[in-house]
Amino acid sequence: MKLFASLLLCLCLPAAWAAGTSTPELDIGKGGQCVEDVQWMRKNHMNLLRHQRDETVHKGVRDTRRSLKGCIECHASTRDHSVTARADSFCVGCHSYQAVKVDCFECHSDKRKSAWLEKNAK
Amino acid sequence: MSDIDLRRRNFFKTSLGAAAVAIAPGILLFDLAHGKPQSVGGKVRWGMLIDTTQCREGCNDCVTACNKENGLSGGTSATDSQWIRKVEIKEISTGRKVSLPMMCQHCDKPPCVDVCPTGASFKRVDGIVLVDRHLCIGCRYCMMACPYKARSFVHEPVTGQNPDVPRGKGTVESCTLCVHRVDNGQQPACAESCPNKAILFGDLNDPESEISKKIRSVASVQVRADLGLNTGVRYQGL
């Protein structure tokens, strides 16, 4: 019985320890929920983006609700208008925590359209 | 009818009017902000008619507007992206000079689409020829196939893109007919910027459109019509 208790303790300790570790603190910009709840989005956002990208490029469906541009519009930082500029930026914060490379921004702008317009007004 | 009844009726009329005025712009703006949810239709074929008699020699406004809209550097070296070029041609026997803008001709039967090994080069149902950069592997077959030399390869990393025009290293690109503007009911940047209105943009399939009426009434040609590509861009006075 004693052995079983200690075994249980050994097994539980790392789990409890892991649960206590800090998840990344993100700068979520304006935030708010417009598509699905947070946990669902963490798991599935890439599928929505991939589907929407084909719809937009090939069929010209420019609905912003599930587009990368739409995400950036709300979730870019209110300070620098970017989702990648700092370590706690909306996309980069989580992706570096999970060690998943994010390729989107090699082609796509990481800035809000309004911020880009302001910068390129001249 | 009593006075009170009339006043009441007028009150309802004005409040209904006021409500309509208050709500209508909201609905319109909401639609604008969220973009079009439906896909483009195959009834339309976008095209351009370029009046070379109105195109001024030395004027570069369409090129500048294109570069600004799509975030191109404006350089003209072999490794710079050029989506639209100004070309000056001269008929040697007569000495007649013509100036014209040259870009992707948005062919009906595009050779770039035929040769693409990944399906990245494609023609949208409304006739706009595009590169899906998600699929492009940068092999540059399409650049070889294009008789108009319209496509460019991106050699260097790109930063500060227009959020509507993603561009990146290792992919091929060309004139998109400003597809992001066209989808929102605007004109391509070059057509809008031309000081002489030499570029007429419109729907070639709609017999009532300005461009259709004009190509019915004036002589226009396709560049390299002998290839049978049925280009969407036509030239007048060439």
Residue B98 belongs to some domain of the structure: yes
What pLDDT sits at residue A120?
Answer: 81
Nearest to A59 among B39, B68, B180 (CB): B39
What pLDDT sits at residue B2?
Answer: 61
Query: Taking 70 as the threshold, does the pLDDT of residue A85 lie above it?
Result: yes
What pLDDT sits at residue A63?
Answer: 86
What pLDDT sits at residue A29?
Answer: 87
- Give SS3 for B98: strand
Q: For the beta carbon of residue A36, count every other beta carbon within 10 angstroms.
A: 14
What pLDDT sits at residue B174?
Answer: 97
Are residues B72 and B142 both part of a single domain?
yes
Residue B125 belongs to some domain of the structure: yes
> Higher pLDDT residue, B40 or A21?
B40
Are residues B6 and B54 both part of a single domain?
no
What pLDDT sits at residue A55?
Answer: 93
What pLDDT, in 10s, does the model give residues A34-62? 889 989 999 999 999 999 999 999 999 99
What pLDDT sits at residue A7?
Answer: 56
Are residues B164 and B191 both part of a single domain?
yes
Nearest to A108 among B37, B39, B161 (CB): B161
Contact state of A62 with B33 under an 8 Å Cβ cutoff: no
Mean pLDDT in order along chain B per 10 residues (238 residues): 67 66 55 67 92 95 96 94 96 95 97 97 96 97 97 95 95 97 95 96 96 96 96 95
What pLDDT sits at residue A30?
Answer: 85
The residue among A50, A57, A67, A119 with the most chain B CBs within 10 A of its CB, best to mutate, is A57
d(CA B177, CA A105): 23
Q: Which residues does chain A have within 8 Å of residue B39's beta carbon, measured at their own beta carbons?
A: 55, 59-61
Are residues B9 and B91 both part of a single domain?
no
When pLDDT is cut at 50, 70 and 90, the band that residue A23 belongs to is confident
Residue B39 belongs to some domain of the structure: no
Q: Could you tell me which residues are beta bridge partners of residue B153?
A: B172
Nearest to B168 among A61, A107, A116 (CB): A107
When pLDDT is cut at 50, 70 and 90, the band that residue A64 belongs to is confident
* CATH code of the domain covering residue B88: 3.30.70.20
What mean pLDDT comes out for the span A85-89?
Answer: 91
Question: Total domain count for chain B?
Answer: 2
Strands B233-236 and B46-51: parallel
Which two three-digit tokens encode residue A10? 């050994």
Residue B174 belongs to some domain of the structure: yes
In chain A, domain spans? 26-119
Residue B145 belongs to some domain of the structure: yes
B128: closest CA of chain A, how far (Å): 10
Q: Could you tell me which residues are beta bridge partners of residue B152?
A: B173
When pLDDT is cut at 50, 70 and 90, the band that residue A12 belongs to is low
What pLDDT sits at residue B38?
Answer: 77
A116 and chain B in contact, CB less than 8 A: yes
Q: What is the 3-state secondary structure of B157-220? A: CCCCCCCCCCCCCCCEECCCCCHHHHCCCCCCHHHHHCCCCCEEEEECCCCCCHHHHHHHHCCE
Nearest C-alpha in B relative to A114: B163
What pLDDT sits at residue A65?
Answer: 86
What pLDDT, in 10s, does the model give residues B95-138? 999 999 999 999 999 999 999 999 999 999 999 999 999 999 99
What pLDDT sits at residue B19?
Answer: 61
When pLDDT is cut at 50, 70 and 90, the band that residue A8 belongs to is low
What pLDDT sits at residue B39?
Answer: 82
Nearest to B168 among A65, A67, A106 (CB): A106
Are residues B123 and B194 both part of a single domain?
yes
Are residues B121 and B168 both part of a single domain?
yes
Are residues B137 and B185 both part of a single domain?
yes
A40 and chain B in contact, CB less than 8 A: no
A3: closest CA of chain B, how far (Å): 56
Are residues B26 and B96 both part of a single domain?
no
Are residues B29 and B117 both part of a single domain?
no
Contact state of A58 with B124 under an 8 Å Cβ cutoff: yes
d(CA A35, CA A57): 21
* Residue numbers of B between 13 and 72 with CB closer than 8 Å to A: 33-40, 68
Residue B41 belongs to some domain of the structure: no
Contact state of A61 with B157 under an 8 Å Cβ cutoff: no
B155: closest CA of chain A, how far (Å): 13
Are residues B51 and B141 both part of a single domain?
yes
Are residues B180 and B116 both part of a single domain?
yes
d(CA B88, CA B95): 12
What is the rounded average pLDDT for all residues in chain A? 85
What pLDDT sits at residue A28?
Answer: 87
Are residues B20 and B57 both part of a single domain?
no
pTM for the full model? 0.81
Domain extent at residue B24: 1-34
